[in-house]
Amino acid sequence: MITLQSSDKDVFEIEQSILIQSGTIKNMVEDDFTFIPLPSVDTETLIKIIEYMKKHADKTDSKEKNIKEFDKDFMKKTLNELFALVFAANYLHISSLLELLYPSIADRIKDKITEAIRQIFSIRCDFTPEEERRIIMDNKWAHEGTEIEGTLD
């Protein structure tokens, strides 16, 4: 049993066999660590990560359908939750979860207009009006006949 500690100092005891899906944890375990602090992962996110790993630990054929359903539902979270999961999964090296998260996030942002994306990511526009115009001109041809305006979600 391995103990994980979130940034909020909550501890979780999980079987080693489940946690080795995380490359980071796997290496620490190989170095005989049993207590692993994760100061960059908060409790809420850690709970979700553990839930994911538990579901994916047992990969027999008959469970494949269940796992797919689970994955689909698992992605039904707010964008901010997904971002937190990406940070955590990236740090913990859980590639299967990342492979699930990337297309989900891409899908969520693909139809959004620029301003909406800036709001989601809290990005300040750093283009001068001239630069902005140039970008639109560069891509002008490509936008012909293609609907790019999305809705603000």
Partner 1 sequence: MKGRLSHPSTPIPNDFVRKTGKKRGGYNCGRCGLPKKGHVCDFTKDSINEVPTPTSGDAKSFVSPSMSSVIRPQPPPPPPPRQAVPQLRRALSFDDIGVTDESPGSDDDDDEREELLDLESELDISGSGKLPANCLWEVLKRLPPSSLLSSAKVCKGWRDVSRRIWRSAEELRLGVPVNAQIGLVGSVLKKCPGLVKLSLRMKSDVDATMLACIAFSCPNLDSLEILTSDTSVNRITGDELGRFVAEKRCLTNLKMEGCSNLGGFTLSSTSLSALCLSDLFCHSKMVFNCPNLKEISLEFSRQENDNTDLTAMVDGLGKSCPRLQNIHVASVRLTHAVVLALTAANLRGLRMLSLVLGSEITDASVAAISSSYSWLELLDLSGSSITDSGIGMICNVFPETLSNLLLALCPNITSSGIQFAAAQLPNLELMDCGMSICNPDLDSPASQKNDNVELQRTPSSKLHLIYQKLIIKHSRLKKLSLWGCSSLDSLYLNCPELNDLNLNSCINLNPERLLLQCPNLESVHASGCEDTLVETLKNQVSDDFTAEDYFPCKRLPDGSKRIRVPLLYSPQPFDDAKRKRRISKQRSAVLVY
Query: Read out DSSP for 51-115?
Result: HHHHHHH---GGGHHHHHHHHHHHT-S-HHHHHHHHHHHHHHT-HHHHHHHHHHHHHHHTT--HH
Contact between 11 and partner 1 per CB under 8 A = no
* Dihedral (CA of 62, 68, 73, 79) sign: positive
Q: Which residues ranging from 26 to 85 are in contact with partner 1 (CB under 8 A)?
A: 26-28, 30-31, 33, 37, 39-40, 65, 80, 83
What track of x and - describes contact with partner 1 for positions 84 through 113 (by CB under 8 A)?
A: --xx--xx-xxxx-xx--xx-xx--xxx-x
Strand order of the sheet with strand 11-14?
A: 11-14, 2-5, 35-37
* Nearest CB to partner 1, comparing residues 47 and 83: 83
* Nearest CB to partner 1, comparing residues 13 and 32: 32
**Rounded alpha-carbon distances, angstroms, from residue 4 to 22, 42, 73, 90:** 12, 11, 25, 17
Contact between 153 and partner 1 per CB under 8 A = no
Contact 140, 124 (CB under 8 A): no
* Nearest CB to partner 1, comparing residues 12 and 87: 87
Cβ atoms within 10 Å of 37's Cβ, excluding its own: 14
* Nearest CB to partner 1, comparing residues 132 and 153: 132
Residue in 49, 52, 54 with CA at minimum distance from that of residue 15: 54
Selected binder of partner 1 within 21, 46, 49, 53 (CB under 8 A):
21
Selected binder of partner 1 within 13, 130, 145, 152 (CB under 8 A):
145
Q: Which residues bind partner 1 (CB under 8 A)?
A: 7, 21, 23-24, 26-28, 30-31, 33, 37, 39-40, 65, 80, 83, 86-87, 90-91, 93-96, 98-99, 102-103, 105-106, 109-111, 113-114, 117-118, 120-127, 132, 135-136, 138-148
